[in-house]
Each structure stands twice: as C-alpha cells, then as structure tokens.
A = this chain, B = another copy of it.
C-alpha cells in the first residue's frame, strides 16, 4: 500500500480515469461525428494525447504502490454520468466539448494539485499541459461562427450546460471523497494539518474558507471565460 495521503491517491485516480474516459469519448466523437478524414484525424490526435496522459498517471499510481484500478473506481460513476449528460449532438458540439469541457475539468485538477507533493504536482501539470494541441478546435469553431453567427447562441448554451453538469458532478465527488475536496481549498487543508490549534476561531476559519472558495471560483470562472472568448463565444450570465 501507499504512504501517500488519501487526497493524493484520489487526485491521481480521478484524473487517470478522466483521461482514460476522455480518450475513449473523443475517439467515439471522432469516429461518429467528424465531417472529414482530416477532422477525424485531428480529434483522434487529441484523443491519443489523453491516452498518453492516462499512462503517465497510471504509472505514477503504480510507482506509489497503489492499484490503479482501485484508485480510479470511486470516480467511474461521476465521470461516466458527466459524459452521458454531455453527449455531443454534432461535430461543433464535440469540438466545444473537447475544448471547454476538458478545460474546466483541467482547471479543477490543477487547483487540487497546488497542494500536493512536488513530484505528483509535476506529473499532474504535465498531464494537463496540452492546450497547444487543441488549437485546431479554436480555428474550426471560429470558422463555423464566421459562416453562421447564429450558431453562437446554441453553442454558448451547450458550453453552459457542460459547466453546470461539471459542477454538479464535482459536488457529488466532493461529498463522497472529502480528502480530495480538501485539496481544493488550501486554507481548509492547512487548518486540517494543524488540527491541534483549535484556538480562537471556528468563525474566523469559516470566513477564510469562504474567501478561499470565492477566490477559487473566481479563478475557474475567469479561465472558462477566457476559453469561451477564444472560441468566439459569449460566456453568458
């Protein structure tokens, strides 16, 4: 077994399954929705990159003495449900999902990785550092919007739905895996670290937590807005 804190194993486990399943779903979208062989190859390229990331994370779990299947298992239902709720209806929706959906998930994982050991953090960052590859998505979506600006409304709604479903599944995961949830908010994590120092302030801590959570959501919202703008979409209220 592993000496790593449960939160670290959970982070690697959820991210490993996220990459494995992203690989399979992108491959499915490439097979069924791509309008040309070139588009099919481009989305396949993104898919293959997700698989390489999965391998990196799985190997890290193994090297920590953790069974990858066991580490991934608690997150299968939430991630499968997210994909089931965000099945693209056409090629443009598949592209927006590949960019916006993958992006918001990556932001969450990146936040959680801020508070783990350096080696794990480097592996997580490497697995998430692939935005260059998705440049073709930006070009395709922008070209489609230039052709037909009316598409903007539908695709913006689609992006919002993905974010809503992501938050709803994140909430479910956080409730079931408190160690992982704690990684997301440094103030809480630190408060846990020296649980002895009960001291003055449950109230002060709760306020710090709220401030931290507020900052976290501000960062996530900002990044999401940046991606929507890159695609030529309006983030919406």
Q: Chain B: which residue is nearest A24 at the CB level?
A: B31
Cβ-defined contact, B27 with A40, below 8 A: no
CB neighbours (8 Å) of A17 from chain B are 37
Cβ-defined contact, B40 with A44, below 8 A: no
CB neighbours (8 Å) of A37 from chain B are 17, 20, 68-69, 72-73, 76
CB neighbours (8 Å) of A69 from chain B are 36-38
**Cβ-based interface call for A51 (8 A):** yes
Cβ-defined contact, B54 with A41, below 8 A: yes
* With A25-B31, A30-B24, A31-B24: A58-B44 Cβ-Cβ less than 8 Å: no
**Cβ-based interface call for A23 (8 A):** yes
A residues whose Cβ falls under 8 Å from a Cβ of B: 17, 20-21, 23-25, 27-28, 30-31, 36-38, 40-41, 44-45, 47-48, 51-52, 54-55, 58, 68-69, 72-73, 76
Q: Chain B: which residue is nearest A30 at the CB level?
A: B24
Cβ-defined contact, B40 with A20, below 8 A: yes
Cβ-defined contact, A54 with B44, below 8 A: yes
The CA-CA distance from A30 to B22 in the complex, in Å, is 12
| Shortest CB distance A75–B (Å) | 10
CB neighbours (8 Å) of A25 from chain B are 31
Cβ-defined contact, B41 with A58, below 8 A: yes
